[in-house]
Amino acid sequence: MGERLARLAEAGVSIWLDDLSRERIASGGLARLVGERSVVGVTTNPTIFASAVSSGDSYGPQLNELKGEAVDDAITAITTDDVRAACDVLAPVNKDTDGVDGRVSIEVEPALAMDTEGTVAQARQLRERVGRPNVMIKIPATVPGLPAIRQTIAAGISVNVTLIFSLERYRAVIEAYLAGLEDAAEAGHDLSRIHSVASFFVSRVDAEVDKRLDAIGTDEARALKGRAAVANARLAHELFRSVADDPDLGPRWKALVEKGARPQRPLWASTGVKNPDYPDTLYVSELVTAGTVNTMPEKTMDAFDDHGEVVGDRVVAQAEEARETMAALESVGVDFADVVQVLEDEGLQKFADSWEELVGTVQEAISAS
């Protein structure tokens, strides 16, 4: 077990687990994934926590103690305790990688997605509540989220920028990161201790585009199914690589590097395949390139460990092919600007729904404890 994942890691991909539970921590399961399956980070979300709380008895004693507390306060206590414990499990990885990996992400409440000041305030609170240097705060890349990302980075807090779909928004995320680092340097922060990833959502792109290709209905359109998500991610990586040569961003980035700044690594999120007709390792094997993160549900990790293949870099040399794919999609009638707007709107609604699911789960669990 773990040989194929080890080869993925050797190719320069940081493997993060998209899951967390108290049972996984207490049983040593997370530590085993780190030790045996090359896992070097963890991402979480409200749905993950709702599933964890609703299964097993690990949360019983704490839930009993939280009777009478406001449900939001109870959620904060439960989730930050789990993230803190996971940070401790991953602390050796964080030390060995000079802070690059060994990261655990926790996100701000979905209700704050359009609230810049509220997002910044909660990012500070979560960082302080977890109290570990290897925590990352997840902030969605909405328009109001961009200044929140800048201000949070400026405060010296590491950020996982989530819910990115478009290249236009990604460029704005990069700019927010650079501006935040510039502000952080002015405030006297050590830039080498500030880390960030930019999370590009993958499988949801194919789900939306494929639906539109089926509606168009031509053979030419259907031949493009299952290609948009990987192409979009590959072009995002091209944008990441181009920062140093960009006439506007390049000089700023060079000055920041001289002060110790770290790159904001691309992270491939939503990598579980939704269409059963596609290979279940599609969004891992086709996005292999050094210096990236792939955060996977355990099902996807298991699939790759069983039959995934690493056949060299599958991103850098494919940029032109990716552009051709996106042009072909436009030529058959796919409005990609509309696709990414729909996906962002749906993503925000899914965030809100998952939070409500977590609220209901915790309320029910406290009542039953």
**Residues noted as catalytic:** 138
Spell out a b/e string for 139-160, using b for 16 or more CB atoms within 10 Å of the CB, else e.
Answer: bbbbeebbbbbbbbbbbbbbbb
The DSSP bridge partners found for residue 15 are 39, 294
Nearest CA-CA partner of 269 in 292, 242, 246: 292
Q: Are 89 and 98 in contact (CB under 8 A)?
A: no
Nearest CA-CA partner of 299 in 29, 19, 68: 19
Nearest CA-CA partner of 53 in 74, 70, 38: 74
Sequence-distant (≥ 6) Cβ neighbours of residue 111 within 8 angstroms: 352, 355
DSSP type of residue 108:
P
